[in-house]
Amino acid sequence: MSAGDPQWLNIARELRAIAQTGLTFTADRFDRQRYERVRELAAVDAGAGISCGLRRHPRHPARG
């Protein structure tokens, strides 16, 4: 994590790390499903944040 990164990116990274650690050490299939879902949500959050940041970019076509 970097102090200069947006909060959404820090949260997505932390969720991904928690999920990866859980997937590494769990033997329970239900916990595995939960950690996989947390990893998916972290990816969605990161993707949404990146997309939002791109729309703010001065050369993005939607800015017209």
Task: Dump pLDDT digits (tens) for 8-33.
Answer: 888 889 999 999 999 999 999 999 99
Are 12 and 42 within 8 A, CB to CB? yes
Kindly state whether residue 39 falls inside one of the protein's structural domains. yes
- 2 occurs within a structural domain: no
Q: What is the pLDDT of residue 6?
A: 82
Q: For residue 2, what is the DSSP state? A: -
User: What is the pTM (predicted TM-score) of this model?
Assistant: 0.67
**Which contiguous run of DSSP H or E holds residue 17?**
helix 7-25
Neighbours of 42 (CB within 10 A): 20
How do the residues of the chain divide into helix, strand and coil, expressed in percent and rounded to 5?
A: 75, 0, 25
Q: Which band of pLDDT confidence, cut at 50, 70 and 90, is reported for residue 64?
A: very low
pLDDT tens for 32-44 read 999 999 999 888 8
Report if residue 52 sits inside a domain.
Answer: yes
Number of domains in the chain: 1
